[in-house]
């Protein structure tokens, strides 16, 4: 898929231009350490909620350039050395004025977008990463597939057929478009709401369902709770329940790619709530210092379970956090498939060609409950949910754009949905009829020879099962 639309170089050119202070006029100006961007009157307020401003300007792509290296031979010489403090990390200018850096700014960082809610380009002839028919149709088809799979599996949990599930409603474009912008050699470390990326890479509906039912055909041998997918074949590291632990791991993996001179990068996903974890900051700082080719993608969906972003942090979302670590960052409309695709393509080019980390904040509202263990109507209004479900749905938006290009029809839509539903019904039927992994699989795949404590645990478990055999699941083999 990497061959479709070679426009990353052009986007990177615009990104690099931000570092040149002499840019003025329409591109914006530097004030107080921040770029100020001209906004078309009425654009932000008319197209998106005021809390998440989105404007269509290439100048808003990345807000920082990496700080100069602290190595002495790379330090920039100033005209008047007597007025500078030559301190480890680089020279710092003195000032006789006491001034504190502001903790916030009057204007929020804008987010990059290409499509309006009507599926039309916001600006005709705008410079964005072009996609052809084949790529666009696959992106849309996978978004529909993910949406239908979520509906079926959510209902399966409600019927008691599986124990747990999490949907991606409202965030389909954010994950699938990200995956479409990568290559198969790029390593993905998910949080837990990224099945769309795995679907894009070829993970089958049967494999998804087998994992949720935890049968013997599940690649994880039934050891993980539902939605904790993983696939070595697809370079998709298994989901881990503890929040943000994947970020320091991603930095380390990316550094290993750097050492091996691989033409690939690592992509780590995180939710807005995960940015409050220490591992978020450790991962970003490690990646920045080691100049590791990793893209950190934050899915800011407005809610960390029941905690709104207004209670999560006082900063302007997540995008500004990259600047503290010297990481180029961008805020993108996560409901806009084209904007996400273009931003991730540009971020990948920067991460690999310049060997540096990049932070991407995707704004896409979580329409569904946090999980099947949550009732989001207890902490947010139905009107708020319905607005994002109907007016800002990423799947409908992208469908309109694909249809406007003459690449999709009502017949195509009906055929696609019918086929996916049939596949899912069959997959569920097969998964339910497949036996569970044998009891012995609880103790394998960790040690070459099991230590004495595991041997003792297995012995005690078998004694307990034999004692209460009538309470033990009949579809689990004891061998």
* Nearest one of 385, 401, 389 to 336, comparing CA atoms: 401
Active site residue 155: yes
Active site residue 256: no
* Nearest one of 470, 437, 469, 443 to 457, comparing CA atoms: 443
Active site residue 228: no
**What's the CA gap between 191 and 242, in Å, rounded?**
9
The active-site residue, picked from 241, 373, 381, 418, is 241
For residue 235, give both structure tokens: 């370079």
Q: Going by DSSP bridges, is the β-strand pair 187-189/266-271 parallel, antiparallel, or unpaired?
A: parallel
DSSP state at residue 115: B
For residue 265, give both structure tokens: 């990068």
* Residue 421 CA: distances (Å) to CA of 43, 170, 409, 449: 39, 20, 19, 45
The active-site residue, picked from 155, 386, 435, 456, is 155
Active site residue 384: no
Q: Is the separation of the CB atoms in 287 and 254 below 8 Å?
A: yes
| Beta-bridge mates of residue 121 | 115
For the chain, what is the radius of gyration of the CA atoms? Answer: 24
H-helix segments, 185-277: 195-200, 205-213, 246-259
Residues known to be catalytic: 155, 241, 370-371
């Amino acid at each position: 898929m990497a061959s479709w639309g070679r426009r990353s170089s052009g986007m990177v050119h615009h990104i690099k231009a931000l570092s040149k202070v002499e840019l003025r006029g329409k591109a914006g100006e530097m004030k107080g350490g921040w770029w100020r961007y001209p906004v078309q009157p009425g654009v932000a307020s008319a197209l998106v909620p005021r809390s998440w401003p989105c404007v269509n300007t290439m100048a808003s792509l990345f807000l920082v350039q990496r700080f100069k290296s602290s190595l002495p031979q790379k330090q920039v010489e100033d005209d008047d050395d007597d007025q500078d403090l030559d301190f480890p990390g680089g020279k710092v200018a003195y000032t006789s004025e006491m001034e504190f850096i502001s903790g916030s700014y009057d204007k929020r960082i804008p987010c990059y977008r290409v499509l309006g809610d009507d599926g039309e380009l916001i600006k005709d002839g705008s410079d964005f990463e072009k996609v052809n028919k084949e790529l666009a149709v696959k992106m849309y088809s996978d978004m529909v597939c993910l949406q239908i799979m979520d509906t079926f599996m959510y209902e399966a949990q409600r019927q008691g057929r599986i124990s747990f599930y999490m949907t991606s409603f409202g965030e389909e474009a954010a994950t699938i478009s990200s995956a479409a912008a990568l290559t198969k050699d790029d390593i993905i470390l998910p949080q837990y709401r990224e099945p769309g990326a795995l679907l894009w890479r070829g993970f089958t509906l049967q494999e998804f369902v087998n994992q949720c039912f935890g049968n013997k055909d599940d690649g994880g041998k039934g050891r993980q709770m539902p939605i904790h997918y993983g696939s070595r074949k697809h370079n998709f590291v298994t989901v881990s329940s503890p929040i943000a632990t994947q970020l320091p791991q991603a930095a380390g993996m990316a550094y290993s790619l750097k050492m091996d001179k691989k033409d690939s990068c690592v992509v780590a996903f995180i939710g807005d709530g995960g940015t409050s974890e220490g591992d978020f900051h450790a991962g970003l700082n490690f990646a920045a210092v080691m100049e590791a080719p990793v893209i950190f993608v934050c899915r800011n969906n407005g809610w960390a379970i029941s905690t709104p972003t207004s209670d999560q942090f006082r900063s302007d979302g997540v995008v500004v956090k990259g600047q503290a670590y010297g990481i180029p960052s961008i805020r993108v409309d996560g409901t806009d498939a084209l904007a996400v695709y273009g931003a991730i393509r540009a971020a990948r080019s920067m991460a690999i060609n310049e060997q540096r980390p990049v932070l991407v904040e995707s704004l896409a509202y979580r329409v569904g409950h946090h999980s099947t263990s949550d009732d989001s109507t207890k902490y947010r209004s139905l009107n708020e949910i319905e607005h994002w479900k109907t007016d800002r749905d990423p799947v409908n938006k992208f469908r309109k754009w694909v249809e406007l290009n003459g690449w999709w029809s009502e017949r195509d839509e009906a055929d696609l949905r019918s086929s996916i539903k049939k596949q899912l019904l069959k997959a569920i039927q097969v998964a339910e009829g497949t036996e569970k992994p044998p009891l012995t699989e609880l103790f394998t795949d960790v040690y070459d020879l099991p230590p004495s404590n595991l041997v003792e645990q297995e012995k005690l478990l078998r004694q307990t099962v034999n004692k209460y055999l009538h309470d033990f699941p009949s579809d689990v083999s004891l061998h």
